[in-house]
């Protein structure tokens, strides 16, 4: 089965191709720059993006969105991560967190849409963790955001950027073994195509 992935990010494309290969899904890049609605919910954004992409796609399409939610700040920055990093930066986020509880989470949504559906099917994931007190580690290939300098995933004592490459790869493998949106999509596709 062919699925078109509405993304301009080659790294995201390669990751989805690898993760959907066991489900006999061929993922083809649909390099669209889709305007994102200004919403705080990752599910609604991925849903809107999938609907917009379908009109420009030769087949079934997927689109995703993610956000970063800090509990003590009412969820800030939510889906506005790039804006927050461009304006106040990591240092500003850490200043806002002075004396606050450090719980936070990444949220991700992946929406699938084809011409037989009236609405996209959405798959979700939450990656809980905590904010470090200071920036730790160094940015490198594979780290998708500067938030890696301050995000400590649940079960770890290090930020993603502090982890040695082997530790980071082990954490990613553990994540992939769990129910990620891409894995949920693959299992769902396998179910609907086996009937």
What is the per-residue pLDDT for 192? 87
Domain count, the chain: 1
Which residue in 160, 155, 100 sits closest to 133, CA to CA? 100
Catalytic entry in 65, 125, 133, 134: 65
d(CA 61, CA 28): 9
- Whether 186 contacts 3, CB under 8 Å: no
Find out whether the peptide bond into 97 is cis, omega within 30 degrees of 0: no
Whole-structure pTM value: 0.88
pLDDT tens digits for the chain (195 residues)?
999 999 988 878 888 998 899 999 999 999 988 888 889 899 999 999 999 999 999 999 999 999 999 999 999 999 999 999 999 999 999 999 999 999 999 999 999 999 999 999 999 999 999 999 999 999 987 777 899 999 999 999 999 999 998 998 888 888 777 778 999 999 999 998 876
| Cβ contacts of 141 within 8 Å, gap of 6 or more | none
- Whichever domain contains 98, its CATH number is 3.90.950.10
Which residue in 103, 99, 100, 93 sits closest to 154, CA to CA? 103
Residue 166 φ/ψ, nearest 5 degrees? -65, -40
Domain carrying residue 178: 2-194
Is 65 marked active-site? yes
- Whether 147 contacts 132, CB under 8 Å: no
Determine how many CB atoms are found less than 10 A away from the CB of residue 89: 13
**CA dihedral of 182, 161, 79, 154, whole degrees rounded to 10:** 70
What is the per-residue pLDDT for 84? 96
What is the per-residue pLDDT for 195? 64
Pairing of strands 151-153, 77-78: unpaired
């Amino acid at each position: 089965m062919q699925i078109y992935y509405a993304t301009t990010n080659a790294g995201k494309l390669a990751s989805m191709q690898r993760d959907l290969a066991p489900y006999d899904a061929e993922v083809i890049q649909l390099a669209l720059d889709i305007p994102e609605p200004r919403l705080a919910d990752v599910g609604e954004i991925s849903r809107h993006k999938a609907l917009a992409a379908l009109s420009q796609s030769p087949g079934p399409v997927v689109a995703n969105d993610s956000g970063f939610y800090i509990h003590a700040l009412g969820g800030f920055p939510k889906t506005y991560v790039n804006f927050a990093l461009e304006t106040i930066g990591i240092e500003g986020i850490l200043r806002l967190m002075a004396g606050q509880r450090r719980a936070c989470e990444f949220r991700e949504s992946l929406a699938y849409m084809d011409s037989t559906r009236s609405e996209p099917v959405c798959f979700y994931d939450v990656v809980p963790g905590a904010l470090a007190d200071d920036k730790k580690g160094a940015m490198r290939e594979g780290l998708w955001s500067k938030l890696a300098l301050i995000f400590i995933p649940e079960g770890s004592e290090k930020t993603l950027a502090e982890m040695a490459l082997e530790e980071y790869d082990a954490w990613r493998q553990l994540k992939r073994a769990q129910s990620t949106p891409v894995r949920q999509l693959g299992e769902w596709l396998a179910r609907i195509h086996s009937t």
